[in-house]
Structure 1
Amino acid sequence: MSESALKGSAQALQVAFDAALVDLDGVAYRGPYAIPTAPAALNGARAAGMRIVYVTNNASREPHEVADHLTSLGIPTGPAEILTAAQAVARLMAADLDPGATVLAVGGKGLRSALVEYGFVLVSSANDEPDAVVQGFVPDISWRDLAEASYAIQGGARFFASNLDMTLPNERGIAPGNGALVGVVISATGVRPTAAGKPLPTMFHLAAASVGSVRPLAIGDRLDTDLKGARAAGMPGLLVLTGVSSARDAVLAPADQRPSYIGEDLRCLEQVHPTPVRVGTVWTVGGASASVDGRTLIVDGDGIDAVRAACAAAWAAADIGIMVDAGSIPDFRVGL
């Protein structure tokens, strides 16, 4: 198998790894509502001895608010178990800017409070000639906010962003994320920000260190942030099919976004994961198998093992320059 191949685990993942670095949107909840299987799965993982840290690119809320939200959903959580992109970008800025630097913050109170904790002085206008602008997601952001940020950057302020997620899943569907709003400021200024959130490795390393983990497992629903970030951090990653990225997306994943494990939802933490086995050109995972004939993906079986077998076959083909025809990927009936 290639280095980026799907892995198996003879132990339940919640036993094989000492900590889970869990994304929130699309993994634990969608908008205000818990993903139905998440509370029992996360509480079960904790009971099995797995330490949990919630790692989110959403910078709009303070850690205690996120913890209260999770607790209200039946997932008892304390603020120390939350790491937000606001905290990560404030730490990054503190390493780059002088103590007491002035900052124009475009974002919610989660971002502002993190900046104050790191000793920055907040200003409200480009006329204050801030040393830096930092942009984080907040749902009621306005044209005036984006314009003020643009004016400050044009005046020489450094530009930072909590994260560059282009989309944000919620209970109604997929909405524009912070990256889409950052794109507006980039269009106006021609300046790209320094970002701190996933898929950069910083948050993963901070989260693992916060609980003293030596065998962390990063868990997410997005290949382009959660799983790409896990690979950048040198950590195994688990893709759950409850959010943005689909089984089809996983089959087509580039090497730097491939997960080490795939599950329908967080219940897979309490399960063993069969190791993909190759015999000739056929990859077998559990009771399912897959192969690539020319550019056609052939899958025998169904369920999550069929997804895993399809990924093993498609990734092995891609590693030798053969990209499967997307039209040959079956409509997998998995996920919530």
Structure 2
Amino acid sequence: MSDALLAAYDAVLFDLDGTVYHGSRVIPGAPETVRAAREHGTPVRFVTNNASKAPDEVVAHLTGLGMPAETDEVHTSAQAGVQLLAERLEAGAEVLVVGTRALADEVARAGLKPVRENAESVQAVVQGHSPDNTWAALAEACLAIRAGALWVACNVDATLPSERGLLPGNGSMVAALRTATDVEPLVAGKPQPLLFETAARSAGASRPLVVGDRLDTDIAGAVAAGVDSLVVLSGVATPKQLIEAIPAERGTYLAKDLTALTEPAEDLRIGPRPGWTVTVENQTLTAKGDGDDLDLLRALCHVAWETGVTELGEDTKVQLP
């Protein structure tokens, strides 16, 4: 275990949707991997952009999937969003909530007043994912934002991984309000670094590792926070997205899923890999060799990021399970 990836860091910050589970379906091996981290003495934190559930609900969900957790190990974008509101508003200020009751309760706990209808006294709008968000709720928020209310989006994930596939996420609803108001919200969750910084601080960590499946939120948030990250292919990220990733969305390591945390760190690092030679020919990436397709992808990403060439040659294909 001494050379395992998790042993190289003083905390592991897990994304949830697409990384630990898909809705009600756990990623195979996730409970055992989280248990291995705990047994090694590495603190774990669960950092989610999904603002629909309170920390105790997240704990109940994780426990039901075989991963017991404590509420202080859970950090949600609802908490981050309300933190931004509390820093900017007077106590008792009215906040129009577009989201679940859990988000409204978080607003109330911060000493602010959650409301569901727009009025002249509304000073801010907070928007988080809820499967019950309606046109009427968006209309109330639209009026408040147009009247000058502060607008905080808990996150801007366009999609939400589920056991059925990708579903519309909070970012899709945020996009509707952005179109209707011509206003940009203040974003609380990933890719802003606040969630990761708060989670790392709660674990007393100075060298945490982020594990996530989305380049534009999990990995971009890790880059913004200045910490290393493991990209997993169990959720949203695809080989094409990885090869074409901009500097702000590039991970440190790459694996099929989070169970790789118990594997040697150097086997997972994105970079040149034994058995594969990747060159640039006629502005395309050409790979020669034999070995693991994940190693091929790690090597392709390395050369693509170094050269800016992202087109694959006709004979270069990445086939992943």
TM-score by length of 1: 0.90
Following superposition, the deviation at residue 90 of structure 1 comes to 0.6
Does residue 52 (structure 1) correspond to residue 40 (structure 2)? The answer is no
Instruction: Specify every segment of 5 or more residues in structure 2 that has no aligned partner in the other structure, as ranges.
Output: none
The alignment of Structure 1 onto Structure 2 pairs a total of residues equal to: 319
CA shift in 2, pair 1:284/1:182, >3 Å: closer
Alpha-carbon contact 1:18-1:51 (below 8 Å) kept: yes
Following superposition, the deviation at residue 274 of structure 1 comes to 3.0
CA distance in 1, matches of 2:219, 2:24: 24
CA distance in 2, matches of 1:266, 1:172: 20
Following superposition, the deviation at residue 12 of structure 1 comes to 1.1
Give 1:109's aligned residue: 101
In the TM superposition, what are the counterparts of 1:279-298 in structure 2 within 5 Å? 284-298=272-286
Give 1:68's aligned residue: 60
SS in 1 for 2:266: coil
Give 1:171's aligned residue: 163
Per-residue CA deviation, residues 232-264 of structure 1 (Å, 9 max, x unaligned), is: 000001101100011221111111100011111
Per-residue CA deviation, residues 171-211 of structure 1 (Å, 9 max, x unaligned), is: 11111111110111111111111010000011110010011
Give 1:5's aligned residue: none
CA shift in 2, pair 1:14/1:97, >3 Å: same
CA shift in 2, pair 1:144/1:222, >3 Å: same
Paired AA for residue 175 in structure 1: L
**Which of 275, 292, 308 is matched with 2:298 structurally?**
308
CA distance in 2, matches of 1:37, 1:327: 35
Alpha-carbon contact 2:255-2:268 (below 8 Å) kept: no
Per-residue CA deviation, residues 84-113 of structure 1 (Å, 9 max, x unaligned), is: 000001111111111221100000122112
Instruction: Specify every segment of 5 or more residues in structure 1 that has no aligned partner in the other structure, as ranges.
Output: 1-9, 278-282
TM-score by length of 2: 0.94
Alpha-carbon contact 2:62-2:68 (below 8 Å) kept: yes
Alpha-carbon contact 2:234-2:257 (below 8 Å) kept: yes
Does residue 35 (structure 1) correspond to residue 27 (structure 2)? The answer is yes
Paired AA for residue 222 in structure 1: R
CA shift in 2, pair 1:316/1:160, >3 Å: same
Give 2:190's aligned residue: 198
SS in 2 for 1:262: strand
CA distance in 1, matches of 2:200, 2:314: 39
**Which of 313, 317, 326 is matched with 2:307 structurally?**
317
Does residue 208 (structure 1) correspond to residue 200 (structure 2)? The answer is yes
CA distance in 1, matches of 2:267, 2:45: 27
CA distance in 1, matches of 2:202, 2:50: 19
**Which of 210, 217, 220 is matched with 1:225 structurally?**
217
Following superposition, the deviation at residue 271 of structure 1 comes to 0.8
Alpha-carbon contact 1:276-1:285 (below 8 Å) kept: no
CA distance in 1, matches of 2:62, 2:180: 37
Give 2:137's aligned residue: 145
Per-residue CA deviation, residues 103-128 of structure 1 (Å, 9 max, x unaligned), is: 00000122112111111011221135
SS in 2 for 1:131: strand
Alpha-carbon contact 1:20-1:50 (below 8 Å) kept: yes
Give 2:176's aligned residue: 184
Alpha-carbon contact 2:96-2:116 (below 8 Å) kept: yes
